[in-house]
Structure 1
Amino acid sequence: MLGDDGRCEPRDPDETLQALRDHQAQRSSLHFDAERLRPVDEPFWANLPHCDIFSSIMPDILHQLHKGVFKDHLLSWCTTLVGEDEIDRRFRAMADFPGLRHFRNGISHVSQWTGREHKEMQRIIVGLLAGAVSAEVLMVVRSLVDFIYYAQLQSHTDTTLAHLQSSLDTFHRHKDVFVRLGIREHFNIPKVHFLLHYIEAIRSHGSCDGFNTELPERLHIDYAKQAYRASNRRNYLEQMVTWLARQEAVDLHTSYVRWYQKQAIIPDWRRAGYAIAKNCPLPGTSLERIESAYGATEFLPAFTEFVRTNLPECRFKPNRMDRFDVYKKLTIVYRAAAHGDIAWHKDRIRTVLGKASRGTKKGVAAHFDTAFVVDPDVPIDQRGDSRSVSDTRVARVRVIFDLPQQFGSLPHPLAYIEWYTPLRTKVPDPRVGLYQISPSTQRRRPNAAIVRVDQIKRACHLIPGVARR
């Protein structure tokens, strides 16, 4: 059966070709019936030298994984199991977050499905289904999503391929749950079967991104549609070739300029690990407004403790007359994954107030994003690298501000944060691989603090139901 995890020997092109010719000559061929071949008189690859057509069939991330396994099968099974209305409700309930698409109307009303929509849903589907399906169903969902992410890596090692195989094995161990629940009768699905051949294809031909049909579909826009629109629709082939030649010249010069700029010194924002506005957008903000509008109810005690601990020589004591220069957002910069296509990754952390509705304009909710902040209780010698979050705690960033001049000067702006429960005291949920946390209510230690922005490592997206607010 195609849905099983057992492997079989690859087909032999010579044997297959002989079986086709025997069938054409009306000679009995057990091989023709056993392999379920179709009566093709002369395959196009019959006279191609050194051609093994069966080893030339490569993975297709877009149609096999995004549109096939995920959208047509996995998402359809979960929607049938949970219900379309509940799936839409959970998508609408997702918290807004920079770089993460928010399906405000759910997904049942999406008119045009593209690879982009599938990728955006894959980022949140595991946490979204937590609490709505059984643990075994979650294991299936998580394993397939993990497989999709590992398959998209642009470079592989034995470790990444081992994770890819482990994800596939987990899927096959738990997939029968959909049969027991009456969602499926079998898994005799060609696209599900082809997952067995991904590791072999990667080892023999390289990473899957080189065979993804998403690339030529995208290039069809650049090299055909845009080129045609740039012509006057008469003798358009000649005009398209001329336009493309000029575009290539511009692209070559742009590539050279980018290469030359990379030889310069690393920009300050990369060296510092963050970027912030040069000119403060909200100077002289009062403490009363910070406490009321930003919800920073413990700002004054936290700031007083920060001054006492970090500025012992300061002669001034914080009071309610102090004013602060407040920023709206902070951009955290860190090195991206080694197997990706970008060297640096940026996360935006917003501390933006809401806007009330005026006339026909709808109101806008406030945004106070969460982030991974260096855990003060973790010793310095146990700190991880720039991408590690093992030495951090999750916190909600309420206010980003500069130290007032009367207290001295610091090389970095400050942030008022509200802690969540520590990750080091918890174990990830085995069903989804995520931590379940809640706002900190410790009695012995303050639940809010002032930290330097360079202690904020990266943004953190909290999923309702997994990270309780």
Structure 2
Amino acid sequence: MGSGGWTLLSLRHGGGKGDGCGTRRKFPSNLMVTLFLISPLRPQYYADRDLSDLSNSPSMPRGNRHTPAPRIPCTFQVVPSFVKVEGVSLTMSILCIEIQMPVHGVGAPPGHTTPSLTETIMWTHPTPGSPPGSPAPDLPSRPKKNYHPFLNGRPCDENGVYLPDGVPPPARTTAPNNDWSPYEDATQFNVADFLFRKVQMSSKNIDHLLELWALSTMNEDDYKHLYETIDATKVGDAPWQCYQTEPLAVGEDAPAWARQSYEIWYRDPETVIANMLDNPDFDGAFDSAPYVHLDSDGKRRWSDFMSANFAWKHSDRIYTDDPSTEGSMYHASIFRKRQTTVSVATGDVEYHPGYISLGNIHNSLRRGHRNGVVPFVFLAIPKSDRKYDNDPAFRTFKRQLYHASLAAVLSSLKPGMTTPVVRRCPDGHFRRAIYDFGPFIADYPEQVMLAGIVQNWCAKCTALSTDLDGDIAGRRTHELTDEVLGAFDGDILWDEYGIDEDIIPFTRDFPRADIHEMLSSDLLHQVIKGSFKDHLVTWVGEYLYLENPKAKADAIMDEIDRRIAAVPAFPCLRRFKQGRRFKQWTGDDSKALMKVYLPAIKGLVPPAIVEALSAFLDFCYLVRRADFDEATLDAVDDAVKKFHLRREVFRELGVRPEGFSLPRQHSITHYRTNIEEFGAPGGVCSSITESRHITAVKKPWRRSSRYEALSQMLLTNQRLDKLAAARADFVERRMVHPSFVPVPDKEVEDIDEGGPIDEARVEGNVVLARRRERSYPRSPDALALYINFPNFPELLASFLDDQLHSDSTSDSSSEGMDISEHQISVHHSAIATFFAPSDPSGIRGMRREHIRSTPTWRKHGPRRDCAFVVEDEKRPGFRGMSVVRIKLLFSFTHDGADYPCALVEWFKKVGRSPDPETGMWIVEPELKGRARLTTIVHLDSLLRGAHLIAVYGEAYIPIGFRYIHSLDAFKSFHVNKYIDHHANEIIF
């Protein structure tokens, strides 16, 4: 590749049979498409390669395609648009810009002797990819991270020469601390950041604001000046570029999809990765080498991607293939292609956005930091009339275009996958980075397209499509596919191996990349929306209509909806006001339904069905944890076995007579392996792009003119990234006060209810809201009358006596204590802050929720939340806790000490173990005589909020019943262990 030049690549995808949708067909001949790059740069030469001999020969392996063969060079001034017809193939010619970044071919440092594997390796997880002779050490007796001995991310200088230990990183810039370039001063930057990023003001409103400001303190003439200043920012620059296809045909008799041109918009992924690696915001949450984490018992733990097997095994392979890579930093990119159509932005043309993330950053940062996941491509998805929906030629064309586009866009990463490139890291040090392809996050339909398999087969293993959960199955690999292709024809490939020979995965073009290995689990689509909502919830409804007349089944379904609507309020819990009867379900809707569904069906369906769903929910909440040890992985296996056993009730009842060979449900059998390979599933889940999709697509669309909006949206993304990079640069230079990075936006988020926060880690803390309610009396006696609780002064005196004499061995009495002069401050809420990395949380794993006790909540009536009280820290989980209902939140001062308190009603456990059907503890109001047991507790005794759902039994809820009465109307309650993952993980 010449400096500043172009390269024309020809990727030929072979023809064959199979449409990937369960039907056989012949692929039409004479199909070829050419792409060209729209670019202002002057082209210099091109090289071509023809791989038709590899793709069409069944006896020749399709691997090792990442070394292009140069063809005759040609100099030209204009990139021509052309289309050719050549045999049974699709060829895509792509012009690529060469990115001007330093690439250093490096070997071992001078005077450094490369040690043998057996001399230096500390720990190699026993996998087939490990170099021979790698021994496992004696396990340590304390927690320890053992880093890879060879690809260990040693700091170097910008020329790739390793530095001695202890040398500090060089400064990122030599600019003085008063240089705001391209902004004139701090005011100009902060105004630009505020208007464009924070409030996302339109250009017209920016003009209006500047006019009101009278331009007395600003130099911008209008919004254009502000935009031009942002565009001039150098840090974080990764411009969007475009490939454009030529139509396949121009005749009137050709189908519409063949006469249309398609654009693929992308940012050079190497530039994006370099910018992300150079982001100082990521410092402290970045791993420069794979590691094995051992706890104090010597047991392996898995959490972030670099703690898992994939990174370690691929580092082994890189070093074994080329020992000169010793000291390099292993970097794997994590990919996500979101199948949601960007129709709002592009009119009649569909685009599927693709996202990229660094495997080196921690899961909490990837989920909680706006720039931890970056859009880098918008793939064109051909559309046509309905009559072509099942057309084999059209379907195959779309898939081949998809793979060829990805191969072209990602081609700039290929040199760095074998030869280290020097990149600056978040800590400021340069390191020699080796690129790699890590997990690819995809729902099942995307996995079918990516892996080139037939619908209803598994993309990860060779299990038969008719018995996916059978005992006989091996791992799919490119090598296995090559062997099968060389031994059988198309019909056998399609019917007996589930291989679509028309599709050559894009990973064939890159070293070490195997799409079957890369495909990760997808909690949101496979487990939550797929297996739970689309399968189990649907099967419950089908059972009711099988067992009952339609009228009765309708009544039961309505009762389930009323029970769901009657669930008490809880922070960030989505309310189903009319049950489930709405048309468009989102991922958040399915997550919310998981939290409340089980108690709603108990008593209305056989216990075995409730137990089956309970087993599945236990699996869901296990695999959504942020950290795994060997015991947790064993629990995952046990949960899968239990669910497989209990789901048989649906076969026995006639709901699923054909069995359970369902790809999404089958995916749960791969979760243990995927956790060991990629770390916690929450870090490689499609949900990490859900919020990012809003900031990358939906909000930029709303800010656009709505006409040919895609280019405007891409420019908005580019400007947002530049502002974020500029802020990070100014913070590092101490020109801007460091502030916690905002978590990704959500479409609808009730900030008042709580959610992710970016604060320092604490295990748990509950404090009163800052503002006291001024409508309440201040004296204890007057307050008792106001809240209609005459015993309040007595309880307050007893509480204060316990606080003052808690360490005394002598008996004391509160009867003589005068509390009449104390001034009481009443509050309507308390704030619980706790470490909950398995839930949506900030980059430090912190989450905040409000606990409320208010006489009126959003004009719906009183809201008195519940909370967990820790009674015995030595007893595990809920056995050492109780649930209380908050009747009043208040504080007072005694002898200079502040006492934040809560007036609470107590619940007691029913039985000594959880309910066998739902797996939840059941509690009932605790009585003292005939009245509720009520006391005052210190706020420090509260752990966090608790969620109770009534034990409805077989009786029906009255029509019009309101959720605000649930905690008063029923005799017993489930302690909801599915309300969030912190509750499920810590309390139970």
Fold match (TM-score > 0.5): yes
1:204 is matched by which residue type in structure 2? E
Instruction: Tell me the TM-score normalised to structure 2 length.
Output: 0.40
Answer yes or no: is the 8 Å Cα contact 1:354–1:366 preserved in 2: yes
Map of 2:560 onto structure 1 = 87
Query: Is residue 662 of structure 2 the alignment partner of residue 189 of structure 1?
Result: yes
Aligned counterparts of 1:325 and 1:50: Cα–Cα separation in 2: 65
Map of 1:10 onto structure 2 = 475
Q: Offset at 1:292?
A: 6.6
Query: Is residue 677 of structure 2 the alignment partner of residue 204 of structure 1?
Result: yes
Q: Give SS of 2:770's match.
A: coil
2:865 is matched by which residue type in structure 1? D
Map of 1:67 onto structure 2 = 529
Q: 1:306 aligns with which of 777, 793, 799?
A: 799
Give the direction of change, closer, same or farther, for the CA distance of 1:274–1:323 in structure 2 (3 Å limit).
same
Which structure shows the bigger proportion of residues in strand conformation?
2
Q: Offset at 1:370?
A: 1.2
Matching of residues 114-193 of structure 1 within 5 Å: 114-185=586-657, 186-193=659-666
Answer yes or no: is the 8 Å Cα contact 1:371–1:460 preserved in 2: yes
Map of 1:398 onto structure 2 = 887
Answer yes or no: is the 8 Å Cα contact 1:178–1:184 preserved in 2: yes
1:9 is matched by which residue type in structure 2? G
1:281 is matched by which residue type in structure 2? E
Map of 2:770 onto structure 1 = 278
Map of 2:935 onto structure 1 = 449
Give the direction of change, closer, same or farther, for the CA distance of 1:242–1:189 in structure 2 (3 Å limit).
closer
Give the direction of change, closer, same or farther, for the CA distance of 1:392–1:259 in structure 2 (3 Å limit).
farther
Q: Give SS of 2:923's match.
A: coil
Map of 2:904 onto structure 1 = 417
5+ residue gaps, structure 2: 1-465, 545-555, 741-757, 805-811, 953-970, 974-988
Give the direction of change, closer, same or farther, for the CA distance of 1:313–1:270 in structure 2 (3 Å limit).
farther
Aligned counterparts of 1:269 and 1:402: Cα–Cα separation in 2: 26
Q: Offset at 1:184?
A: 1.6
Q: Offset at 1:324?
A: 3.4
Q: Offset at 1:438?
A: 0.7
2:828 is matched by which residue type in structure 1? K
Deviations 1:240-268 (A, max 9, x none): 46524433325635986899568xxx999
Query: Is residue 967 of structure 2 the alignment partner of residue 468 of structure 1?
Result: no
Answer yes or no: is the 8 Å Cα contact 1:302–1:449 preserved in 2: yes
Deviations 1:87-110 (A, max 9, x none): 21111111122232221111122x
Q: Offset at 1:135?
A: 2.9
Aligned counterparts of 1:157 and 1:339: Cα–Cα separation in 2: 18
Aligned counterparts of 2:620 and 2:826: Cα–Cα separation in 1: 41
Map of 2:868 onto structure 1 = 372
Query: Is residue 947 of structure 2 the alignment partner of residue 428 of structure 1?
Result: no
Q: 2:516 aligns with which of 45, 48, 54?
A: 54
Answer yes or no: is the 8 Å Cα contact 2:761–2:835 preserved in 1: no
Q: Offset at 1:366?
A: 0.6
Q: Offset at 1:408?
A: 4.7
Q: Give SS of 1:449's match.
A: strand
Answer yes or no: is the 8 Å Cα contact 1:20–1:40 preserved in 2: no
Q: Offset at 1:174?
A: 0.9
Matching of residues 294-373 of structure 1 within 5 Å: 294=787, 296=789, 298-310=791-803, 316-317=817-818, 324-337=824-837, 341-342=841-842, 343-354=845-856, 363-373=859-869
Matching of residues 238-249 of structure 1 within 5 Å: 239-240=715-716, 242-249=718-725
Deviations 1:255-296 (A, max 9, x none): 86899568xxx9999699222233421342566775576464
Aligned counterparts of 1:238 and 1:325: Cα–Cα separation in 2: 52
Aligned counterparts of 1:53 and 1:272: Cα–Cα separation in 2: 42
Give the direction of change, closer, same or farther, for the CA distance of 1:23–1:217 in structure 2 (3 Å limit).
farther
Which structure shows the bigger proportion of residues in helix conformation?
1
Q: Give SS of 2:868's match.
A: strand
Answer yes or no: is the 8 Å Cα contact 1:295–1:398 preserved in 2: no
Q: Give SS of 1:62's match.
A: helix
Aligned counterparts of 1:456 and 1:162: Cα–Cα separation in 2: 32
Aligned counterparts of 1:20 and 1:270: Cα–Cα separation in 2: 56
Q: Give SS of 1:284's match.
A: coil
Give the direction of change, closer, same or farther, for the CA distance of 1:40–1:270 in structure 2 (3 Å limit).
closer
2:799 is matched by which residue type in structure 1? F
5+ residue gaps, structure 1: 356-361
2:851 is matched by which residue type in structure 1? I
Aligned counterparts of 1:11 and 1:451: Cα–Cα separation in 2: 59
Deviations 1:391-421 (A, max 9, x none): 3221111112233x6x655432222111111
Map of 1:359 onto structure 2 = none
Answer yes or no: is the 8 Å Cα contact 2:493–2:500 preserved in 1: no
Deviations 1:331-358 (A, max 9, x none): 1223335797543333322110138xxx
Q: Offset at 1:187?
A: 0.8
Deviations 1:208-251 (A, max 9, x none): 23442333454343234444554556863784465244333256
Q: Give SS of 1:101's match.
A: coil
Deviations 1:59-97 (A, max 9, x none): 222221122111110111223345421221111111122
2:972 is matched by which residue type in structure 1? R
Answer yes or no: is the 8 Å Cα contact 1:372–1:459 preserved in 2: yes
Map of 1:223 onto structure 2 = 696
Give the direction of change, closer, same or farther, for the CA distance of 1:398–1:446 in structure 2 (3 Å limit).
closer
Higher relative CO (CA 8 A, sep ≥ 6), structure 1 or 2?
1
1:76 is matched by which residue type in structure 2? T
Aligned counterparts of 1:2 and 1:51: Cα–Cα separation in 2: 28
Alignment RMSD (CA, Å): 3.9
Q: Offset at 1:431?
A: 2.3
Answer yes or no: is the 8 Å Cα contact 1:417–1:448 preserved in 2: yes
Q: Give SS of 1:411's match.
A: strand
Aligned counterparts of 1:431 and 1:348: Cα–Cα separation in 2: 30
Deviations 1:139-195 (A, max 9, x none): 221222222223233443223222221211110111111112222221121111121
Q: Offset at 1:383?
A: 4.5
Q: Offset at 1:33?
A: 4.2
Q: Give SS of 2:924's match.
A: coil
Q: Give SS of 1:126's match.
A: helix
Map of 1:358 onto structure 2 = none
2:719 is matched by which residue type in structure 1? W
Deviations 1:412-433 (A, max 9, x none): 222211111158x631112222
Q: Percent identity?
A: 23
2:674 is matched by which residue type in structure 1? A
Query: Is residue 113 of structure 2 the alignment partner of residue 113 of structure 1?
Result: no
